[in-house]
Structure formats: structure tokens, C-alpha cells
Chains A and B, each alone.
Chain A
Amino acid sequence: MSIGTRFPKSDGVAKADGSGLYADDIALPRMLHAKILRSPHAHARIRGIDLGAAEALPGVVATLVGAELPLKYGVIPWTQDETALAVEKVRHVGDAVACIAAIDERTADEALRLVKVVYEVLPAVLTPEDALEHPEIKVNERAKVGNITKHVHLQFGEVDEAVAGAAAVVRETYRYAGSTHVPIEPHCAVARIDADGNLTVWSSTQIPHYVHRELSRVLGLPQSKVRVIQPLLGGAFGGKSDPFALEFCVAKLAMKTGRPVKILYTREEVFYAHRGRHPMKMDVTLALDADGRIAAVDNKILIDGGAYASFGLVTAYYAGQLLTGPYRFGTYRFDSYRMYTNKPPCGPKRGHGSVQPRFAFEVALDEAAEKLGLDPVDARRRNFIGEFVETVNGQKITSNGFLKCLELVEKASGWKERHGKLGPGRGLGVAGSMYISGTAYPVYPNEMPQSGVLVKLDRSGRVAIYSGASDIGQGVNTLLCQIAAEELHCDPYDVTVVAADTDLTPVDLGAYSSRVTYMVGIAAREACQKLAEKLRAAGGATFAEACQRAEAAEGAPLAATGGYRTEKLGGDYRGGTIGASPAYSFTAHVAEVSVDEETGIWKVERIWAAHDCGKALNPTLVEGQIEGSVYMGAAEAQMEEMVYDEKGLLFGPSLLDYRIPTSLDTPDLDSYIVESNDPGGPYGAKEAGEGPLHPAIPAIANAIHDACGIRIRELPFYPQRVLKLLRERDARREERAAS
């Protein structure tokens, strides 16, 4: 039995000892290095590009400008609005303008400084409010109306009536700062053209299939002539789930020169490529009835999208659609605008679209519960939506271990004995959440399986699994070994995984929306079960012997395929499929914080996190996902923010100025796995990679309230913000004492 065991991560040693091969480790004979010239302006029309001096520099081999790659691309087919290099306009500081390939990086860098670009600077819009107010300043021509990427307005039930009749109503504005992913590996791509004109691109991507499609389209090559390979990846978190300028540039430059070409982004360029978490302003109304049940939730959401759409259409939906569990909502309305602004584009970051509204909602729920004198844990428990139910917006929840999660963290943290009783400067806070295990909606409409797996048996007893899925650190390649071992009764160490190579592996749509374990798991199980049948019939003393006998019986090599076929899910209304998932995961956190009331400096002391992943196929990997998620959420609460100056220049695009917590800034983490055994998931599994992030932020905010009686409604919870709120609290107390 291999499922449920702590089988070691298959790429763990190679990552630790340095022997693993990442995209930047690829070095080919005669390979060129390319660099991208970037815009110093937030918004400008390009009047001319003079490459003469750059081309004359010894060592420069080729140059590239936007006009050579004019076709627009984008991950969502309905909102393709970017080009590899600016064609007429630049839309943010750092937008790509031209690309130069040279014999080494330094020569390419020197050549960039010799390029003369004539810009006509245009007025820029830098906030979503400005973007609404100034439709005449068009950031991106794709927007049909003003600067709106997407507007979603959905209502379920009579919200206003429910608010009017409620016992406690909270109306507050919550603000979520933008943050970025910070994978430790910067984006890197290498392209090569072979003698027959076939193009191979190795890229640090989490969506090889979409990159394959877009490369083919933009370069004008048949898909059958393009091959995309994803090497070992050094983190992604959603930051590598769009096609990026560098992939098109290396490919086109390889085609122009006949030589291999590499681009490795600098850390600064990773910040400009961005696709991080959207800043959101959320005007929340939350109403509880006299029993503390959620009568209504109303959320007006203004989303700062940056210069391109990326996944923004989905973001505008997710911001509302994913909030309707683990609690039952009596009525619900949301109204979200995703706006174009002249800043690096936002996109999907771990917990795409729903981390921000979850923060707002879970703090508002605490505030409302306080009005009714309800214990925050009880307030959540009594609103539990249940198992095998439909949400107010028509999503089907299957298994649901949320109550168990809540109970675990309540006990582990000593909630009953300690909440509200820890004395000044120390407090506990709770929050819950729900997230999708993949989405029923493939990014481009088609009837083919979302995920396919091919399993081949060798007469040596070696098993080869061909899977299109991207292992981005979540460990899907390890799980494939375990699934093979489980079904075929082979040694998991005798399994080779060939992954994420569009020539060799069946299609998987990519590592996003927490879909991989669920969908690839189902596909792999199906393929392995087909082969297991034949092995059983063949018999044999050893696994290798069984393979030989089965192959003899078959009269052909043994192989089988499996697939995950998209189910029709979701509410029967426009947008009803977005956010509809075959299964939802659930999480509860309790956070403990300490606050220094003289300085506003606070610290997360500990977080207890319980996550319902259905079934832990590998508990070590699940715990890793819980811990990594909690870390990332706590980091956003503590310090992460993309800050721009008045001209749209990102402050400090480096890991010195954009701070992420060190190990010393990371709280003690206790992770608990809850197994609700989902009937649809592979072996009962649901997602674990994104859900566990959500409650960290509101749990911390609620803990700060328990510690010192302030409500912090804006991220990050900088000490200066905490200190300001503490002073306002003191002023209120003095006023009260005086009167």
C-alpha cells in the first residue's frame, strides 16, 4: 500500500544537492543570451526605436521589436490583450519594448543601453478609482468600456430586505494590498530550432500546454512543430501560469538566428512580469439574524488589475463566487470591477481571487459576532453549511470536514480557556475558508479530457508514467509513483515519470486552480487499474515476471491511458460555471499574536491550521502545503506589498526592499490533516495547495483584536498602522472616561 504513506518526494534529493536541472541549467552549443529593453514610462506611445548602435556593438547577433510579433496573446482566450514586445504603446514601467540577443549577458546588457526609443508620454492611471474616473485615458484597448477588464454583478436572494431585518449589521471597508509570488527561481526560457525547423522551448512554466498553443499561434508555426518542455521548477505559486514575453522572444530569436537562445529574468524583471495578488477595496455589508446566522452578505469589490488581463476575468468572478462556504448564506450579492491600470499586471497568486474577500468576510463576521456577544468559534460553527449541499450561488459541496477542522484548532489552541483572557498585548483569532479542487471550466472550451495519463510497462519491471502535469513543487510526480505502486503493486522507486513535455506526454491543462492532484490522480488511477487487471490475469512470482507474462499474453507492449473528463457543474446563470469545482477543501486556523503597544510591532507567535484535504495521499506533502500556505498568508499580513510612486515606478523591485519573512519571522506552525474522504476525488482526495492560505490573514487580524481591541482592516498590518489604531483606541477610551 503506497497511498497515504510518507513516500519521500521524488525530486527532493536533486533539489537539495544541486543536481536537479532547472531551465537555467540548460546550456547548448552556440547558445545566445538575450535581454529585454523595458519602458521607463507608465504609459507612452512609441514613436520610434533606433537599434543601429546596439546592432553595431561587437557580440550582438540579433534584435527583435514588437512589430515582428504583433499577434496578441493571453491565457484566457476571451481577453488576449498583450504582445511579447510593445507594438505601439507601453502600459507600465517595465513593459517590454525590444529584445537583443548577444554572445553573453553582459554584451546584451550593454547593447540595451545603446537603443534609442522615442516615447510620447501619455497620462497614466495608477489606481482603480482613477481608472473608473478617467475612461478617456485608455490603458488597454481591449476594454470595451473605459478601463474595465470585467464587471460582474450577481445577486442571490433579497439581500436588502435581509439586511433591513437583521439583528446585527457590519458595514466596513477592507483593503488588500497587492503582493507577489516570489518564487526563488526567476523565469527562464531556452529555445532551439532543429534541422527540420522544429522548435523546442524549455520554460519555467506551470502551463506548458497553453504556452504550446500560444507559441504556435503567435509565431505562426503549426502546433505539431512546437514542443514545450518544463524542466525542474523552483517555485511558481501562480506566477508562472501565463505565457510570458521571454518565451516568445527566445523562440523568435532562435528562429531568426538558427542558434539556441536563453533568457533568464533578473529578480527585478520578475517583479515587472508580476501576475501577483490583486489589490482590492471591498465594501462589505454583513448581516446576522438574532440567532447569529448569516442573513446577508453584500460585497462591492474594486480590483486593481494592472496593464493586462491575465486571469483577470476569472479574478472578477472568483472574488465573489468562492465565498459561499463553509457557511450558509441566507442571501448574497457581489459586484466586482476588475480595472486596467498602468502598473505591472496582476494575476493568480495562491488562493486566486478569494484570499482578499475571505480576509474581509472573516473579519466582518468577527465584528458582527462581537455585536451579538457571540464567541467567534461558535459563530462559525452555527453557520456551518453542511455536507452534500448546494451553496446560495449553486455550487455543489460534497464532503465537508470544516467542523472537524474548527474543533481541532479550537482544542489545540486552548481557545475556550484562553480566548479573551490572555491579557493585554496577546490574543487569539480564528477564521475559516473553502477552496476549489480544480474547476469544471477548461480555459478554452473543448470536449477533450482536462488531464490525460499514459502508463507503459517494461518487461524489466520498470513502469513509465507519461503525464502532462506540471510538478511545481506540490509533488504530483511523487504522487504518480505512489498511485502506480498502489494499483500495480510495484515498488514506487521503480516508476519513472516523464512529465510536462508536449511532444511526449498527454495533455494536462496546467498547475492552476488546485486541479492537478484531483484530476491527474483520477486519470492515473484509471490507467493503472486497466493494467493491473492484465497483470492479475497474467500472474507471476515477481512484478517483472507479471509484466513479461502479461506482455506475452497481449502480444504487444503493455500500456494504458486514463483521463479526467470535465463534469458539467455550476449554477444555471451567466458565470455560474466559474468557481464550480468537483470538490471543495475546507480550512480553519487559530492564530496567536503578541502586540507591543508602545511601538505597534507585533508578532505571530503560533498558528494552528487544520485542513480538510479529503484524503492525504502523502501526509508529508500535505503538511508541506499547509505550512507553506500558512507562511505565505502570514507574510502578506505582516509585510508584503507592491508599492508604487506617483509615476507608477515600483519601489524597490528586489528581495531587499520587497521583504518576505525569514525563518526567524515565521511563527510556530501546527498543521492538522482532516480526511473527509470525498466520494469524487482520487482515493477520496481534494486540494491542499491553496486553501490553507486563506484563513491565516483574517485569523491574525482577529487575534490582534483579541490582543488589544483594535480592528485592522487594511493589509499589510504594518506596525505604523497598528500604532495609529492603538492611539485612536486610547483617544476613544480617554474620551469615554472624560464623559
Chain B
Amino acid sequence: MMTLPDLTVLRPGSVAEAVEALRANPGARVLAGGTDIVPNLKYGMYDTRHLVALRGLSSELRYVREHRSGELRLGAMCSIDELGRSELVKARIPALADACQQIAGPQLRRMGTLGGNLCLDTRCVYVNQSHFWRSALGYCLKKDGTVCHVVAGGKRCVAAASNDTAPVLLALDASVKTISPRGERTIALHEFYVADGLHNTVLAPDELLTEVRIPAAAARRRQAFAKLRMRAAIDFPALNLAVALELDGHSVKSVSLAVSALAARPALIKGLQDLHGHAADAIFAEELGRRAHKQCKPLTNIGIDPGWRRDVLPVLVRRTVLRAIG
């Protein structure tokens, strides 16, 4: 079988110890659920010699809580499976529960964590492959090489953000709490991701994502998630999207639409303010689809026909918006 490189696994028992382990071992990588990093390590995608395994942080970081303010707080070590089943999550942010239920399969959902999903490394059909395969290809920008096989002449990696929880949390204006040797900070999710496939978040190497915060207003918003994939389980998204709407009677008070599995950064569809006040109807849903189609250009970083994915996007947006409206 494929072998893992020689690694030292550090097992901190607290958040403080974990941050210290990251600081003391430059280049160390975090292992939360391990569902993505383990195959990537076997593929030789990381040169790291140290893994910081977070299982010992479960008592600190595995919770679903409602704050006095009405804000929902999710510990980063919550498993994807438990978020998908949580009554509180289902009641307050059903789109997140839906997204969690559509990740991978039952075994992987039990191992995978919320923090791990939000920090999931970007993926590309040209890089998530064995060392042998990448050597035959001639390597690429993301690892060991200098060229991009997706965008001819491209100088910036466009490996795809493939986390299913990100679009929902983006559309609902969530933020994340982090901790590093320099202290804690809270980052709005729309500022958390950057358009760089090599490292698509603003997290510093010694910084740990500890919590996700979803504003109280999220519970009042109509919301829906959709995922395009070739199979009904296992697959990473070929496209995913989430819509969140605040309605005032039959009219739209606010709307946000996030689309991902495009390039390195999950996209928030821009310029929707002029639709505020629009009737929440089929025409509105169609218009959102049209705008998403205009702004989103799927690439060959995912091995499913980008032209078709773009064709399907407006249909998917329209149906998802109508589902959110109810």
C-alpha cells in the first residue's frame, strides 16, 4: 500500500499546548480528523516532519453552544457527523446541517471535524495525486513545480476550495475565532479566505482555528445549501452553494449567495443589493442564477467538465433559492 513519510506525531492535551507545539516546530501541520491530510501525506504533498494531533483538545473544543447574545458557537473539534445530527444546528442553521450531511460518507463524517473542513487544503486534480503521478506530469505550482496545468501560463495556484461548510457559513456572515502565540483574534469568514491555492486562508502557521460563531440573525434567515457531485456520497463538490435570505413579507430584505468549488476562494456573489426589496419569487431566483453564472467560471482543477458545471450553476442556484424561499 502507499506509505506515510516518517513523521513525529505530537499529541497536545490543551489548546495552549497545541499552539506551543506549532510554534516550537516550524512547518508542523495540524491533524484534526485526518481524513484529508493522511492521504495527502501519502501523496507526498507536504514536507512536514511533525503533525500536531488535536484529539486531546476535544474536551475544550467540542461543543455546540448558544451564547447569551443568541450567537451560536461551534467548537472546531465538533465532528461533521454530530453537526449534521445536532438538533440545535438543525433548528437554527439547517443549511449547515444539510451541508454536513452531504460531506463524504458516514465513516469520514465521524472522523472529520468542522475546523478541519474550514481549513481543508485546496484541491486540484493535478496535485492530489501520488508523487509518482505528479513526477510523470512534471509537477505544478502547488507542489514541487513551477507551472500550472489548469491555467496556461498561470502564476497563481487555482486549486479549488472544496469545503462544504464554507459557503453556508459565508452566506450567514459567520466568523471564526483563532489563537496563536500572539493571542486570540476573531476573523469574519469573508476575510478568512484568500485567492491563493497554496494557502487559501489568513491563518498563520502557528495559529489554530478554535471556534465558529454564527450571528443570532442567521436563525431568522431562509437558507438552503446545494452540492453538485457525480455520486450521491463520497465525492468532493463539483460545485456547492448556499443562499441566505431575509424576507419582509413577500419581499426580499437581504440576500447573500456563496458559491464554491471554483478556485481557491469560496465566492460571495457580488452586487446583490439592488435586489433588496424584490419580490421573493421565481423571477428573483432566476436573476440570482443569472448573476452567479456571470460571476463564476469553473475550471479544470476539478475533473468534471467545467463548461457543463457552468451550465448547471444557474439551474442549481434557482432551485436552491426557491427551496430557501419555501
Contacts and interface: CB of A to CB of B under 8 A. Distances in A.
A600 B308 contact: yes
B125 A657 contact: yes
A664 interface: yes
A615 B93 CA distance: 57
A530 interface: no
B125 A659 contact: no
A647 B149 CA distance: 13
B129 A639 contact: no
Contact of B132 (A38, A105, A600, A656): A38
Interface in B217-249: 230-236
Interface in A595-644: 598-601, 639, 643
B133 A268 contact: yes
B137 A106 contact: no
B234 A652 contact: no
B105 interface: yes
* Most chain B CB inside 10 Å of its own CB: which residue of A600, A643, A654: A654
Given A639-B230, A657-B303, A659-B235, A105 B1 contact: yes
A40 B136 contact: yes
Given A599-B312, A652-B303, A93 B232 contact: no
* Most chain A CB inside 10 Å of its own CB: which residue of B128, B135, B235, B303: B303
Given A109-B3, A659-B235, A664-B232, A649 B130 contact: no
Interface string A224-239: 0000000000000000
A268 B315 contact: no
B305 interface: yes
A664 B235 contact: no
Interface string A652-666: 111011010110110
Contacts of B1: 105, 186, 264, 266
A662 B125 contact: no
Contacts of A639: 230-231
B274 interface: no
B2 A266 contact: yes
Interface residues of B, number: 32
Contacts of A680: none
B132 A40 contact: yes
Contacts of B235: 656, 659
A156 interface: no
A720 interface: yes
Contacts of B4: 106
Contact of A649 (B131, B133, B232, B308): B133
A493 interface: no
B293 to A, nearest CB: 13
B311 interface: yes
A113 B134 CA distance: 13
A90 B312 CA distance: 42
Given A93-B136, A652-B125, A659-B230, A723 B311 contact: yes
Contacts of A719: 308, 312
Contact of A665 (B136, B232, B308, B311): B232
B231 A720 contact: no
A659 B229 CA distance: 11
A441 interface: no
A661 B230 CA distance: 9
A7 interface: no
Interface string B300-317: 000101011001100110
A152 to B, nearest CB: 34
Interface in B265-316: 303, 305, 307-308, 311-312, 315-316
Q: Interface on chain A toward B: helix, strand, loop, or mixed SS?
A: loop
Contacts of B315: 598-599
Contact of A723 (B131, B135, B236, B308): B308
B312 A40 contact: no
Contact of A106 (B3, B133, B231): B3
Nearest to A24: B1
Contacts of A268: 2, 130, 132-133
Interface string B166-208: 0000000000000000000000000000000000000000000
A647 to B, nearest CB: 8
A266 to B, nearest CB: 5
A718 B305 contact: yes
A654 B43 CA distance: 11
Contacts of A444: none
B133 A653 contact: yes
B258 to A, nearest CB: 20
A75 B1 CA distance: 26
Contact of A720 (B5, B236, B308): B308
A649 B311 contact: no
B110 to A, nearest CB: 17
A299 B239 CA distance: 41
* Most chain B CB inside 10 Å of its own CB: which residue of A186, A653, A719: A719
Interface string B2-44: 1111100000000000000000000000000000000000000
Nearest to A654: B129
A659 B135 CA distance: 23
A651 B134 CA distance: 11
A649 to B, nearest CB: 5
Interface in A693-725: 718-720, 723
Nearest to A107: B3
Nearest to A264: B1
Contacts of A41: 136
Contacts of A264: 1
Interface in B110-130: 125, 128-130
Nearest to B234: A662
A720 B307 contact: yes
A579 to B, nearest CB: 36
B6 A106 contact: yes
Contacts of B303: 643, 651-652, 657
Nearest to B232: A664
A656 B234 contact: yes
Given A40-B136, A718-B305, A664 B233 contact: yes
B323 to A, nearest CB: 15
A456 to B, nearest CB: 39
Contacts of A645: 137
Contact of A652 (B3, B129, B232, B308): B129
Contacts of A113: 131
B122 to A, nearest CB: 15
Interface string A263-286: 010101000000000000000000
* Most chain A CB inside 10 Å of its own CB: which residue of B3, B130, B137, B307: B3
B135 A40 contact: yes
A90 to B, nearest CB: 11
Contacts of B129: 652-654
B294 to A, nearest CB: 18
Contacts of A720: 305, 307-308, 311
A657 B231 CA distance: 11
A603 to B, nearest CB: 9
Contact of A662 (B5, B105, B316): B105
A647 B135 CA distance: 13
Contacts of B316: 599
Nearest to B128: A656
* Most chain A CB inside 10 Å of its own CB: which residue of B125, B128, B136, B311: B136
Interface in A29-47: 38, 40-41
A269 to B, nearest CB: 9
A659 B231 contact: yes
B137 to A, nearest CB: 6
A675 B58 CA distance: 60
6 contacts: A599-B312, A639-B231, A651-B125, A659-B231, A718-B305, A723-B312
CB-based closest 10 A-B pairs = A720-B308, A664-B232, A40-B136, A106-B3, A720-B305, A662-B233, A598-B315, A599-B312, A105-B3, A109-B3
Given A186-B1, A718-B308, 16 more contacts: A40-B135, A105-B3, A106-B4, A106-B6, A268-B133, A649-B136, A651-B125, A652-B125, A652-B303, A657-B125, A659-B231, A662-B231, A662-B232, A665-B233, A718-B305, A723-B308
